Structure 1
Amino acid sequence: MQWLMCPVCRENLSLNERTWRCQQGHSFDLAKQGYVNLHVVQHKHSKQPGDTPEAVDARRAFLSAGFYAPLRTAVETILQQYQPKTLLDIGCGEGYYTQAMQAHVQDCIGVDIAKNAVQRAAKANPNVTWVVGTGAVLPVLDGSMEICTSLFSPIPQQEILRVLKEDGLCLVVTPAPQHLYAMREALFDQVNPHEPEKFVNQLSDAFELIESQVVDAPLLLKQQDIQNLLAMTPYAYKAKPEKRQALETLAELHVTASFQIYLFKKKVEITAA
């Protein structure tokens, strides 16, 4: 099945050879890597939105080393339990988690605003429909997805509600309160715990929280791993340069990654008789 929506007129897109086209005649060619760019100019706020190529490369190197594998396994376990058929991964990046999730669903779409990240993802797995697009206008049809996932990414609530089927699921992963605490202690004079519960409050009007768990991953990082982790986080530009440099020169660092996983279910709208 084809679930993509034209970002111009919002009609469904059909793939014919290497071109996605709607009935209004808007067309979007597949890039040589296999992705399609549906981030039209009227939705752009900068020339190169999203992560830099350097951040994408650092994240790919870090994740490929398996440091966050416990999180990926936990997400796969949830998909095995609920068995959704259609999945939209919002903010898919270079596709580390998306590739794992694709194995458990029939149709998987990965969308990210950073073209360089989607290019890398598309090269690695042709079984996912990879899209350059924005969460402000998710590039899929109304009521077409059984689950939307957002792992360390924005949560465009109204768009998620639009694209989810009735009783559809929304899987959110965000830093737990103590996530990378030792690293943050080394970088900042004051360290505030993360506040994942804000997402529960944000989504409570339209979603019911049905599962909540924290996954911890104790890490021993060598110098290159430390540098990669820094480069893929906002800490890279928020910390003072001298503190970042001191951390990057450490031979090794013990730190615990702590992930908060929430699974929400879309509330059923009750209409008056």
Structure 2
Amino acid sequence: MAARDIHRDGCIMRYPFLDLACPLDGAPLRQDGAVWRCLSGHSFDTAREGYVNLLPVQNKRSRDPGDSKVMVAARRRFLTAGHYQPIASAVATMVLDGLPQRAACLDAGCGEGYYLRELADAAAGRQIALLGLDISKWAVQAAARQQRDATWVVGSNANLPVLPRTLDRVICMFGFPVYGEFARALKPGGELLQVDAGADHLRELREIIYPTLKPERRSEAEAPAGFSVAGAETLRFMVELKGAEPIADLLLMTPHLFRATAEGRARAAALTELSLTVDVRLLRLRRNAAR
């Protein structure tokens, strides 16, 4: 994962993100071969798949936090099939809008790396350091296996192992935003792109697995402390799922799997085709200048 020039379509791109911070004391980490070290002597080995684990045991809430190996595999199959391609395209467009020619981008909660890979393809010709972070070791391992020209880290949004003011963009896809940490890591003027489910997202599936749907609370886009709203968009489209496997994969990669009753999961398992509404909100938040 040492810094290197990547040649793609005749363009030179520098991918690895090197401004990592020690998760124990916040000091800069420097790469020494397959090991990352800070001046205090803390060291972290790079796994053979090409990622580094920067989630200390004392910061784990469970033995194996985040998505399981089975959930990661389901998400990889579903996303690779292209069902959410319009979301990936919209995210890449918003991230690249106004982005400096040389920049750094974090996918906070990267999963198996689909959206960061799509961003890399859309960013051909730009020098972007890409960093993917997830609390699931299985997710980061899968991401690193598929894309070697980025930096992949097991870590937590609650304590980003990133030096202050080193990021131009942060992506948070259906995840758990920690605005204070995002604000700390972003440069002034940098942007957070937050993608969340809209009121009708996967409504058809939810109507099958739940007895009733809770009324959705609509709210205007608001800026958390340290940010201002730079834009907001809604993206809606239909997805046609054919066969039991993609339906099962979708349910497995969402929180609905654990919220649904056994009867609801059984009804979903009996499906062989499903037309689904995809409804997401893309909120663009700009980091205010430091005072």
Q: TM-score, normalised by structure 1?
A: 0.94
Q: What are the ranges of 5 or more consecutive residues in structure 1 without an aligned counterpart? A: none
1:245 corresponds to: 266
1:233 corresponds to: 254
Quick one: which of 241, 245, 248 aligns to 1:221?
241
User: Aligned ranges for residues 80-119 of structure 1 at < 5 Å?
Assistant: 80-84=96-100, 85-103=103-121, 104=123, 106-119=128-141
Does residue 59 (structure 1) correspond to residue 105 (structure 2)? The answer is no
Quick one: which of 226, 245, 257 aligns to 1:206?
226
Write the distance in 1 (CA, Å) between the matches of 2:161 and 2:194.
19
Does residue 147 (structure 1) correspond to residue 169 (structure 2)? The answer is yes
Amino acid at match of 2:79: L
Write the distance in 1 (CA, Å) between the matches of 2:219 and 2:107.
21
Bigger mean CA offset, 95-104 vs 245-254: 95-104
Runs of 4+ residues deviating >3 angstroms: 193-198
String of CA shifts for 1:79-115, please: whole Å, max 9, x gaps: 2322241111100010000112234251011000000
Amino acid at match of 1:220: E
Question: What is the CA-CA distance between 1:204 and the residue it aligns to?
Answer: 3.3
Please give the root-mean-square deviation of Cα atoms over the aligned residues, in Å: 1.5
Write the distance in 1 (CA, Å) between the matches of 2:265 and 2:227.
39
Contact 1:176 1:195 in 2 (8 A): no
Contact 2:179 2:224 in 1 (8 A): no
Question: What is the CA-CA distance between 1:205 and the residue it aligns to?
Answer: 3.0
Shift in CA distance, 191/89, structure 1 to aligned 2, threshold 3 Å: same
String of CA shifts for 1:1-46, please: whole Å, max 9, x gaps: 6210001111111111111111111111100000000001121111
Question: What is the CA-CA distance between 1:176 and the residue it aligns to?
Answer: 1.0
Quick one: which of 124, 130, 137 aligns to 2:152?
130
Question: What is the CA-CA distance between 1:263 and the residue it aligns to?
Answer: 0.5
String of CA shifts for 1:56-101, please: whole Å, max 9, x gaps: 1111111111000000000111123222411111000100001122
Contact 1:179 1:194 in 2 (8 A): no
Write the distance in 1 (CA, Å) between the matches of 2:175 and 2:245.
25
Bigger mean CA offset, 188-197 vs 86-95: 188-197
Quick one: which of 214, 237, 251 aligns to 1:192?
214
Contact 2:95 2:193 in 1 (8 A): no
Write the distance in 1 (CA, Å) between the matches of 2:224 and 2:253.
30
Contact 1:169 1:265 in 2 (8 A): yes
Q: TM-score, normalised by structure 2?
A: 0.88
Does residue 267 (structure 1) correspond to residue 285 (structure 2)? The answer is no
Contact 2:129 2:150 in 1 (8 A): yes
* Partner-residue secondary structure (3-state), 1:136: helix
Write the distance in 1 (CA, Å) between the matches of 2:277 and 2:241.
10
Shift in CA distance, 206/196, structure 1 to aligned 2, threshold 3 Å: farther
Question: What is the CA-CA distance between 1:123 and the residue it aligns to?
Answer: 0.4
User: Aligned ranges for residues 10-25 of structure 1 at < 5 Å?
Assistant: 10-25=26-41
* Partner-residue secondary structure (3-state), 2:158: coil
Bigger mean CA offset, 104-113 vs 57-66: 104-113
Q: What are the ranges of 5 or more consecutive residues in structure 2 without an aligned counterpart? A: 1-16
Q: Percent identity?
A: 36
* Partner-residue secondary structure (3-state), 1:148: strand
Contact 1:28 1:36 in 2 (8 A): yes
Write the distance in 2 (CA, Å) between the matches of 1:237 and 1:94.
20
